[in-house]
C-alpha cells in the first residue's frame, strides 16, 4: 500500500515536473541559460576531448592569433561524436545539462533562491562528463591513468566499461536535476 502511494506520488511529481519544463521553455531566460551552457560546455568538451594536444599547443607560445584560432575551433571536436552511439550519449548528456541549467535560471527568478541540490547535480554531472572524455583505447582518456594507478595494466581492460558507466551516471544526474527543477518551477508557478 505504501509502495503504491510512493509510486503514485512519483508519477504525479514527474507529470508536474514535465509541466514545469513546458512552462520554462516559454521563457526567454530558459533559452539564454540553455544556449550559454551549450556553448560553454562545447568548448570544455572540445578541449578535454583532445586535451593533451590542446594543452601542449596552447602552451607552445604560437602567438595570440593562432591561439585564438585554435580556441575558436575547439567545439568542432564535437562533430565526430555524432558518428556513433557512445558519442550520442555524450551529446545527450550535454543537452540535458543545458536544459537543467536553463531550468535553474527560470527557477532562480521564480523562487528568488538557487536550489542547492539541483545546482550540485548539474555541477557534478559536468565534472563526470569531463572524466569520460578522450580515447580510452589509446590511453588518452583522463580515466586511463586513474584506473591504471589503481588496477595496473588490468585497468585498461575495464576502461571502456567504466567510461560508459561514467557517462550514463552523468545522464542520470541530469535527469534527476531536470525533474527536480521542473517540479519546483511547476509549484512556484501555481
Minimum distance from residue 141 beta carbon to another protein (Å): 8
End-to-end CA distance of the chain: 30
Alpha-carbon Rg for the chain, nearest whole angstrom, is: 19
Q: In whole angstroms, how far apart are CA 29 and each of 92, 133, 161, 167?
A: 21, 30, 38, 27
C-beta of 34 vs 47, nearer to another protein: 47
Task: Count Cα neighbours of 86 within 13 Å in the Cβ-side half-sphere.
Answer: 14
Nearer to another protein, 42 or 164 (CB): 164
Cα separation, 35 vs 52, in Å, equals 27
Rounded least distance, CB 31 to another protein, Å: 24
Q: How far is the CB of 13 from another protein (least distance, A)?
A: 9
What residues make contact with another protein under the rule CB under 8 A? Answer: 49-53, 55-57, 60-62, 66, 69-70, 73, 76-77, 80, 83-87, 111, 113, 115-117, 120, 123-124, 127-128, 130-131, 134-146, 149, 152-154, 156-157, 160, 163-164, 180, 183-184, 187-188, 190
Nearer to another protein, 35 or 69 (CB): 69
Contact 188, 110 (CB under 8 A): yes
Q: Residue 35: how many CA atoms within 13 Å on its side-chain side?
A: 7
Integer Cα distance of 152 and 160 in angstroms: 15
Q: Which is nearer to another protein, 7 or 69 (CB)?
A: 69
State the nearest-atom distance from the C-beta of 25 to another protein, in Å.
Answer: 20
Which of residues 35 and 80 has its CB atom nearest to another protein in the complex? 80
Instruction: Please check whether residue 55 is in contact with residue 143, taking contact to mean a CB–CB distance below 8 angstroms.
Output: no
Nearest distance in Å: CB 17, another protein: 11
Amino acid at each position: 500500500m505504501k509502495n503504491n502511494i510512493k509510486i503514485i506520488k512519483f508519477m504525479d511529481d514527474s507529470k508536474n515536473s514535465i509541466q514545469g519544463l513546458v512552462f520554462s521553455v516559454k521563457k526567454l531566460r530558459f533559452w539564454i541559460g540553455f544556449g550559454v551552457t551549450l556553448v560553454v560546455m562545447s568548448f570544455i568538451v572540445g578541449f578535454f576531448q583532445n586535451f593533451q594536444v590542446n594543452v601542449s599547443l596552447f602552451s607552445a607560445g604560437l602567438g595570440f592569433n593562432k591561439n585564438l584560432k585554435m580556441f575558436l575551433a575547439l567545439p568542432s571536436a564535437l562533430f565526430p561524436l555524432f558518428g556513433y552511439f557512445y558519442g550520442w550519449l555524450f551529446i545527450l548528456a550535454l543537452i540535458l545539462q543545458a536544459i537543467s541549467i536553463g531550468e535553474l535560471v527560470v527557477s532562480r527568478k521564480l523562487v528568488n533562491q538557487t536550489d542547492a541540490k539541483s545546482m550540485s547535480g548539474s555541477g557534478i554531472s559536468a565534472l563526470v562528463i569531463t572524466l569520460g572524455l578522450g580515447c580510452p583505447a589509446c590511453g588518452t582518456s583522463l580515466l586511463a591513468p586513474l584506473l591504471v594507478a589503481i588496477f595496473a595494466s588490468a585497468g585498461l581492460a575495464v576502461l571502456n566499461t567504466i567510461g560508459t558507466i561514467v557517462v550514463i551516471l552523468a545522464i542520470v544526474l541530469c535527469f534527476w536535476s531536470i525533474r527536480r527543477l521542473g517540479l519546483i518551477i511547476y509549484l512556484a508557478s501555481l
